[in-house]
Amino acid sequence: MAAQRTPRNPADGPTRERLVDAAISVLAASGPAEVKVRRISEEAGVSTITVYHHFGGVRGLLDEVVIRGYSSLRDALLDAEASDDDPGVQLFAMALATREMARSNPHLYDMMFGLSTRGTYRATTPPTPTQHHFREAYGVLVGACERMKTAARIDIDDPEQIAAQLWSLVHGFVSLEAGGHFDGHEDPVTSVLAPMAVAQLVGNGENRVRATECARTAYMRWRTVHQD
């Protein structure tokens, strides 16, 4: 569902933050093609020159949008980490948190990971000023993998290696689901994401029964919070 636009009072909040909020709102409602200086400035209740004054143009503003997205992702992953003491449950909870973020604002997610463009601008074409912000979010995932290794539940030497595998798995699933490729599945999490993630962990040394139970625990907790 498209985000509802709310009239903004120019006196409310710091101008830079209002502009980032406005850009995210426009992106959610209309997609990257409508992320334009005039549209954003109208949404924020400021003059068009304000965008150039604070960000140098749309490109600089979109870098801040992407940074905000990574910050939100990091917060969501930290919440997933705090949801359980078991690092296996944490990993599955992080997968679900990533999926939820992508579903709540797919255009923002696409821009964060280079799946959409605005004109010639591609938010994540390296090198960018946003990459270290992604690394901060990604580091939460690596931390859970490190705890799996410390507990001798995976037999891989480099925890970042399994983190990269799991991130690729989840990101691929999220992208395909967003494209409607799993529309024929009653529940893509239980039929695709969870079995795939379980198989990945088992292939790296985790016990299948324990991995399956971790996935079930994380998903049932997610359903309690998110399902109608």
Q: Residue 76: how many CA atoms within 13 Å on its side-chain side?
A: 21
Q: What is the pLDDT of residue 6?
A: 42
pLDDT greater than 80 at residue 122: no
Q: What is the pLDDT of residue 7?
A: 42
pLDDT in tens, 141-169: 999 999 999 999 999 889 999 999 999 99
Question: Which is more confident, 185 or 116?
Answer: 185
pLDDT greater than 60 at residue 12: no
pLDDT greater than 70 at residue 25: yes
**Which residues 6+ apart lie within 8 Å of 116 measured at CB?**
31, 32, 107, 110, 123
Instruction: State in words which class domain 1-56 has.
Output: mainly alpha
Q: What dihedral do alpha carbons 62, 68, 74, 80 form, nearest 10°?
A: -110
Q: What is the DSSP letter of 153?
A: -
Q: What is the pLDDT of residue 228?
A: 53
pLDDT greater than 50 at residue 11: no
- Other Cβ atoms closer than 10 A to 17: 14
- Average pLDDT rounded to a whole number, residues 34-43: 91
pLDDT greater than 70 at residue 51: yes
Range from 81-90, 110-119, 134-143, 196-205 carrying the lowest mean pLDDT: 110-119
- Which CA distances in Å does 213 have to 163, 195, 210? 20, 11, 5
Q: What is the pLDDT of residue 113?
A: 85
Residues of the chain with pLDDT > 90, as a percent, come to 72
- Average pLDDT rounded to a whole number, residues 32-49: 91
Query: 7: cis peptide before it, omega within 30°?
Result: no
Q: What is the pLDDT of residue 130?
A: 78
Q: What is the DSSP letter of 205?
A: T
List the chain domain ranges. Answer: 1-56, 68-226
Q: Which residues of the chain form beta strands (DSSP E)?
A: 117-118, 121-122
pLDDT greater than 80 at residue 86: yes
| Nearest residue to 138 (alpha-carbon basis) of 166, 158, 108, 103 | 166
98 in Cβ contact with 138 (< 8 Å): no
How many Å apart are CA 207 and CA 204, to the nearest integer?
Answer: 9
- Which CA distances in Å does 163 have to 36, 91, 102, 145, 178? 36, 9, 19, 6, 22
CATH placement of domain 68-226: 1.10.357.10
Q: How many Å is the maximal CA-CA distance in the chain?
A: 59
